[in-house]
Amino acid sequence: MADVLVDSNVILDVFTQDPRWFDRSAAVLARMAGDHELIVNPIVYAEVSVGFERIEELDAALPGESFRREPLPWEAAFLAGKCFVRYRRAGGSRRAPLPDFYIGAHAAVRGIPLLTRDAARYRTYFPRLELILP
């Protein structure tokens, strides 16, 4: 079974029943779950956690049998930093690396696709990364 890293925006579309994205995100998430191992990392987990009061509620919403938790590889942290330097040189105003840099770098370092609806940023900083879009 192939791995796919799932971006928080797709998960949040489903959890919040986003009026614009829910149907597409839910459909692609269900399709991917059929023949892929869905992976989340600590960055995705943190971004999704803001909608929950207790960790137990979040863990129930992202059960381990449906979403494998994977640590952020050190190589991904390094790559995220390099993307951040490029972002700053291009005029970006943030003072710390963006979460998307860690998420994209994780998928890139692992050589696995990323399920996301934020194609523009990932294509800019990770042009060879395979993206799956809702």
3-class DSSP state of 69: strand
Provide the pLDDT confidence category of residue 120 given band limits of 50, 70 and 90. Answer: very high
Strand order in the sheet with 2-6: 67-69, 36-40, 2-6, 114-115, 131-132
At residue 96 the predicted structure's pLDDT band, cuts being 50, 70 and 90, is: confident
Residues in the chain: 134
Helix residue ranges per DSSP H, 2-128 = 8-15, 22-35, 42-49, 55-61, 74-89, 99-110, 119-125
Query: What is the structure's pLDDT at 97?
Result: 82
- Give the type of residue at 125: Y
Is pLDDT at 92 greater than 90 in this prediction? no
Average pLDDT value over all residues in the chain: 96
pLDDT tens column, 11-54: 999 999 999 999 999 999 999 999 999 999 999 999 999 999 99
Residues with Cβ within 8 Å of 12's Cβ and at least 6 positions away in sequence, in order, are 18, 47, 48, 51
The Cα-based distances of 64 to 7, 37, 70 in angstroms read 16, 11, 11
Taking a C-beta distance cutoff of 8 angstroms, is the pair 123, 83 a contact? no
Q: Give 6's pLDDT tier (boundaries 50, 70, 90).
A: very high
Q: Residue 82: which pLDDT band, with cuts at 50, 70 and 90?
A: very high
* pLDDT tens, residue by residue, 53-64: 999 999 999 999
Q: Cα-Cα-Cα-Cα dihedral of 39, 45, 47, 52, to 10°?
A: 130
